[in-house]
Structure 1
Amino acid sequence: MDFLVGADNDDGRARRGSRASSGRDGRRGRRRRRRRNKGGFLAPMLAVIVLVGGLGGAGYYGYTWLRGVVTVEDYTGSGTGEVTVEIKQGQSASDVARTLEEQGVVKSARAFTEAIAEAGKSSSLQPGVYTLRKQMSAAAAVELLDPSKQLLDRVTLKEGLRLSDTLSTLAKATGKPLKEFQAAAKDTAALGLPAYAKGRLEGYAFPATYDVTPKMSAADILTAMVDRFNQTAEKDRLVAESKTLGRTPHEIMIIASIVQAESGSVDDMGKIARVIYNRLQEGRKLEMDSTLFYGLNRYGIAATNAELESKSPYNTYRRIGLPPGPISNPGDHAIQAALKPAKGDWIWFVTTDPSRGITKFASTESEFLRLKAEFEKNRGNG
């Protein structure tokens, strides 16, 4: 028991003793710790001093090498000469940077990626063909790759152009030989035509404004026009709506092409479409000058007696029903008119004043003869 009590007392004394002795022994401990801390601070300082001292000799060359790695190689100025660069669909800024470096436009791909990122234009690159220069600064290259500076030809094809005129317009606008467009137009399997087109491009080269780059071939351009038609056909639900009318999509396009050729304004299109449907329903000949002249490969507004005897399948004065194919490339308004004709019992229409594009409609033969006389009078005055 004395042992146990003594142990408690000894323990208590030991704890008290440790506090009492801390005055002398504790100070020695703190001094030892401070000396150790001073040594820990001096060691890395000595290493830095040694490293800095090393830079005075061989270390200088290491610094020079490091600076070369960090500094991006780039040309200065606006460059010289001329380089045509194409940005392809789906290419990133990094892809374009490599192309520019390979073609000698910029000194390094990294210089371009940094310059375009700094300009905030990394996501604004657009496919197209651009004119740049050799050995130009990356920042200058970024400026010339603005979408507004694309190298292209803008071609506008009017609604109602025949295919032959469409190809001639394209050849003149792009500087490509006409024979290239004619050959491409014959290879319809490569153009993406719908099956109901029956392998003929006439009627399906959609009229619109197209941006054509120098690297596009004749086939590429015509394919773009067919693609545009396919988009319009999908928008207008051509296949489904033609079935509702009891017609094939190809027949609708034939009607649309006639509507486009015969109408003087968009307002007339629905009525002209209705005249065509009414004549077809009654088993009448269409008797359209536009189809006759297409078969004769010329233009006109009033056929002669000799021309009316033409044996062309497009002579709707002699043949009942629709001609075998479209006679022009109709626009969206004409297609919509063919799909949704106006309501009315008209059987005839006459463009009474061709110079002003005025067309009038008749439900009886007597009305038609009166309108025809008006046309003859206006033509005589012209």
Structure 2
Amino acid sequence: MNIEDVLRDTLADMAREEPPPPPERFLRTTLTATGPRRVRRPGMALAAAAAVAVLAAGTVATVRGLSEQTPAPAVSTGPLTRPSGEVTASVERGPGARVIVMEGLRLADVLPRLARASGRPPAEFERAARNGAALGLPDYANGSLEGFAFPGTYEVAPGRSAQEILADMVQRHRSTADQLGLVEGARRLGRGPRDIMIIASIVQAEASSRQDMPKIARTIYNRLDHRPPMMLKMDSPLMYALGKYAVEASADDLRSRSRYNTYRHHGLPPGPIGNPGRDAIEAALRPAPGSWLYYVTVDPRTGATKFAGSDEEYESLLDERKRRIRAES
């Protein structure tokens, strides 16, 4: 199968999906009690389809995802961290193929595309993903690959097994975790490394830019540590638990008793909600200093996000957002 066939199949598959993955990565925001909720931006299916780009042989193919005039905005299950809004798939002549896995994708999105790119059965990847010991998962992963299939470029040559491909992703996580001092950094923050990875996955989902990631991480910590206790009240973990890609949680969604429903349960959800990249992990380890409890995408067109430490500041940001929307309508 050549690169054109692979990309055509991928785009066709994604076009048939009800909403585009990764979870809310290409969404605009509306308002919630904690901050904004998302409103879907048009034309995002193509960008989502290219989130895993297959590299097979001999040409360079560019698939434009987000328009540079409408960069992805912030808050709850993450915008792109590539400011150009492009996903580029290039290939070298030879027997091997490679695949690019973008930051923030759910494992449920990654495995079928790895299978397609490698030509191996999806069931082989599903079985391999369940065998955490064989993949070399760290103890703090609790045997689950979600959150630890590190984004990047991987060899998916026909002779490589699903276990080998996934083990490469885990090894890349371990290497990055060592470079960033994940275990030591978590200890300094009074948390475990699994907590850091959960926070990083939420940061990856919520941020519209790398620059916002440390502030979003600090906002999460401030809500977790607030007295009296505050719930996170973020849609992205709940959408993950429900297997949805909706732009916001519905009233029925919010009734879910899942531990991922941060409108009902205090603290972090029980596991990562996607596979964060290096920037998100670093932000979770090194949050910006600040007293923020809220953030609002004040400009839905550009994704500009501002942060608030009080109810009054939050209300002011909501007013700013409303003024911008009125001015642009």
Compute the TM-score of the two structures, normalised by the length of structure 1.
0.58
In 1, distance between residues paired with 2:307 and 2:163?
42
Q: Helix, strand or coil for the counterpart of 1:350?
A: strand
Structure 1: state its 5+ residue gaps.
1-147
For 1:207, which of 146, 151, 170 is the aligned residue?
A: 151
Distance 1:168 1:355 in 2: 33
Which residue of 164, 176, 179 maps to 2:108? 164
Match of 1:251 among 191, 195, 202: 195
Say which SS state the counterpart of residue 359 (structure 1) adopts: strand
Choose the corresponding residue for 1:363, options 309, 312, 315. Answer: 309
CA shift digits 1:300-345 (9 cap, x unpaired): 3432222222211100011000000000100000000000000111
- Give the match's secondary structure for 1:272: helix
Matches within 5 A, 1:1-382: 149-282=93-226, 283-354=229-300, 356-372=302-318
For 2:177, what is the secondary structure of its paired residue?
A: helix
- CA-CA distance at 1:372 after TM superposition: 4.1
Give the strand-richer structure, 1 or 2. Answer: 2
Q: Secondary structure at the match of 1:313?
A: coil
Distance in 1 between residues matched to 2:290 and 2:301, nearest whole Å: 26
**Distance in 2 (alpha carbons) for counterparts of 1:372 and 1:326:** 29
- Distance in 1 (CA, whole Å) between partners of 2:166 and 2:124 is 11
Indicate if the aligned counterparts of 2:129 and 2:166 stay in contact, CA closer than 8 A. Answer: yes
Whole-Å separation in 2 of the counterparts to 1:327 and 1:156: 19
CA deviation string 1:231-288 (max 9, x = no partner): 0011011111110110000000000000000000000000000001101111210111
Retained in 1: the 8 A contact 2:114–2:156?
no
Preserved CA contact (<8 Å) 2:196 2:281: yes
**Highest CA radius of gyration, 1 or 2?**
1
Distance 1:309 1:378 in 2: 33
SS at the partner of 1:316? coil
What secondary structure is seen at the aligned counterpart in 2 of 1:261? Answer: helix
For 1:275 and 1:224, how far apart are their aligned partners in 2?
Answer: 33
Q: Which has the higher contact order (CA 8 A, sep 6+)?
A: 2
- Letter of the aligned partner of 1:289 in structure 2? D
Aligned equivalents of 1:307, 1:376: Cα separation in 2: 26
Q: Decide whether aligned partners of structure 1 residues 376 and 172 sit closer, same or farther in structure 2, where only a CA change above 3 A counts.
A: farther
Distance 2:96 2:263 in 1: 45
Query: Structure 1 residues 363, 226: CA separation in 2 closer, same or farther (over 3 Å shift)?
Result: same
Check conservation: 2:115, 2:121, Cα contact below 8 A.
Answer: yes
Give the drift of 1:353: 4.2
Q: Distance in 1 between matches of 2:95 and 2:308?
A: 52
| CA-atom RMSD in angstroms | 2.0
Whether the 8 Å CA contact 2:293–2:309 is kept in 1: the answer is: yes
Query: 1:378, 1:304 → 2: CA distance?
Result: 26
Partner of 1:30: none
Name the CA distance, whole Å, in 2 between partners of 1:191 and 1:379: 48
Cα distance, 1:333–1:182 mapped onto 2, change above 3 Å? same
- The Cα offsets for residues 3-44 of structure 1, whole Å up to 9 and x where unpaired, read as xxxxxxxxxxxxxxxxxxxxxxxxxxxxxxxxxxxxxxxxxx
Take 2:241 and 2:320, find their aligned partners in 1: how far apart are those partners?
27
Change (3 A) 1:308 1:206: same
Q: Matched residues in 2 for 1:258 and 1:211: separation? A: 28
TM-score, structure 2 normalization: 0.67
* Residues 157, 169 of structure 1: 8 Å contact kept: no
The structure-2 alpha-carbon separation of the partners of 1:204 and 1:375, relative to structure 1 and needing over 3 Å to count, comes to farther
Partners of 1:289 and 1:300 within 8 A in 2: no
User: Which consecutive unaligned segments of at least 5 residues does structure 2 have?
Assistant: 1-91
Q: CA deviation at 1:374?
A: 5.6
Give me the identity figure in percent. Answer: 52
Displacement, 1:365?
1.2
Paired amino acid for 2:205: A
SS in 1 for 2:230: coil
Q: Report the residue type matching 2:201 in the other structure.
A: S
